[in-house]
Amino acid sequence: MKFLISLLRLLPPELAHSLALNALHFLYVMGLSKFIFPSSVTGDSFIYRNLNFKNRLGIAAGLDKNGDYIDSLGSLGFGFIEIGTVTPLAQAGNPKPRIFRLFNQHAIINRLGFNNKGLDYLVSKVKSRKYSGILGINIGANKDSEGQKRIDDYIECFYKVSPYADYIAVNISSPNTPNLRALHARENFIPLFSALNIARSEQDFANPVFIKLSPDESKETISDIIKAIREYGFDGIIASNTTVDHSELPDEASHKRVGGLSGKPLFQKSNELLASIHEDDHDLFKIGVGGVFSAQDFNKKLESGASLVQIYTSFIYEGPGVVSKLLN
């Protein structure tokens, strides 16, 4: 496995990601993945509301944006899987190259920009899945949608995914869609939250709704948003998305590179956000994500207030073996 991962490092990142996921899918379809990645993973099961998570580790949004790999990722021992971010219309995302691996820092900078095949495609994939574990669906807005149209995009996604989602994650924190993070401001999140609230009751959606937050906002902004999450009766938050603050990185070139930073340099920052929200509100449900590479990191997220933990970058760097490394 180590050899294959080293080989993939030689390829451009986006090609490597797609090859790795397709290989995983192929092994799954051939019935081989259970031999190659024997899922000896245990971890403690966990129940939240009526949802039974077989363990507390999940795959974060963005790895399977379209729901193409639900069954194969589901066979690796994760306690839950989050797919998306999906937008109503298919879109190409930003020009390539748009993913940059920083090997020495165990980090990635990406500026993908919600490249995805659109809502109808994702829903068709979700409907035909065999995976029976917990599936979260992460929703967003198309790049060109502004003002009310942007809110309408979230609502359209909400309506179409809610019959199939064990939870819905509302992504207001991608740094790669212009002005999306402006949804952290009260005048923008109140109309969005009101519309989501109406959609939730019209759809009779009884499962959790989580808001995925940016690690780059001020304490006051986060406090304001947490208050509103409580007022609207949403379940909780996912902390956090990638950061645009690259000052942790040692080299000048990476400081200037546009995009969201994930992996080890995000660990501290995303933990601080998580812990400060926990301090503010113990009862709010929290999913911790950002820079988890070891069992110690995983436990640190739980200690900082998370009930569930997600990974993305460590999965890219270490492959499926990271699941048992973190849980056992």
Amino acid at 211: I
Task: Pick between residue 205 and residue 267 the one whose CB is nearest to ligand FMN.
Answer: 267
Query: Catalytic annotation on 174?
Result: yes
Give the C-alpha separation, 289 to 148, whole Å. 30
Which of 33, 75, 174, 262 is catalytic? The answer is 174
Under 8 Å between Cβ of 115 and 86 = no
Residues between 23 and 62 with contacts to ligand FMN, criterion CB under 6 A:
60-62
And the tokens for 157?
Answer: 């996604």
The 10 Å Cβ neighbour count of residue 39 is 14
Which of positions 131-170 make contact with ligand FMN (CB under 6 A)? Answer: 138
Token pair 């192929």: residue = 26
Nearest approach in angstroms of CB 31 to ligand FMN is 29
- Tell me: does residue 291 bind ligand FMN (CB under 6 A): yes
State in angstroms the smallest separation of the CB of 257 from ligand FMN: 13
Nearer residue to ligand FMN within complex by CB, 33 or 241: 241
Single out the residue of 241, 271, 304, 324 in contact with ligand FMN (rule: CB under 6 A): 241
Does 236 interact with ligand FMN (rule: CB under 6 A)?
no
> How far is residue 246's CA from residue 260's CA, in Å, rounded to a whole number?
9
**Smallest distance from ligand FMN to CB 34, Å:** 25
Closer of 46 and 100 to ligand FMN (Cβ): 100
Return the SS3 of 124. helix
Q: Is the dihedral of CA 258, 263, 269, 271 positive or negative?
A: positive
Q: Which is nearer to ligand FMN, 38 or 97 (CB)?
A: 97
Say whether residue 239 binds ligand FMN (CB under 6 A): no
The identity of residue 180, as a single letter, is: L
Which one of 24, 28, 65, 160 is in contact with ligand FMN (CB under 6 A)? 65
Residue 87 as a binder of ligand FMN (CB under 6 A): the answer is no
214 binds ligand FMN (CB under 6 A): no
CA dist 37 → 1, 68, 77, 116, 319 (Å): 10, 19, 9, 28, 10
Q: If DSSP states are collapsed to H, E and C, what string results for 60-77?
A: CCCCCCCCCCHHHHHCCC
The residue from 266, 284, 309, 323 that contacts ligand FMN (CB under 6 A) is 266
- The answer to whether 156 and 89 are in contact (CB under 8 A) is no
Query: In the complex, what is the shortest distance from the CB of residue 35 to ligand FMN, in angstroms, rounded to a whole number?
Result: 27
Residue 50 phi, psi dihedral angles, 5° rounding:
-95, 15
Picking from 296, 260, 324, 218, the residue whose alpha carbon sits closest to that of residue 100 is 260
Q: Is residue 273 within the footprint of ligand FMN (CB under 6 A)?
A: no
Residues 242-261 that bind ligand FMN (CB under 6 A): 242
Question: Minimum Å distance from CB 232 to ligand FMN?
Answer: 20
Nearer to ligand FMN, 133 or 288 (CB): 288
Give the integer Cα–Cα distance in Å for 298 and 291.
Answer: 9
Task: Determine, following the binding rule CB under 6 A, whether residue 313 of this chain makes contact with ligand FMN.
Answer: yes
- Looking at beta carbons, which residue is closest to ligand FMN? 62
Based on the shown chain and the rule CB under 6 A, indicate whether residue 287 belongs to the binding site for ligand FMN.
Answer: no
Q: How far apart are the first and last CA of the chain?
A: 19
Query: Nearest to residue 183, comparing CAs of 173, 169, 168?
Result: 173
Gyration radius from the chain CA atoms:
18
Mind telling me the catalytic residues? Answer: 174
Which residues contribute to the site for ligand FMN (CB under 6 A)? 60-62, 65, 85, 99, 108, 110, 112, 138, 171, 174, 212, 241-242, 262-263, 266, 289-292, 311-314
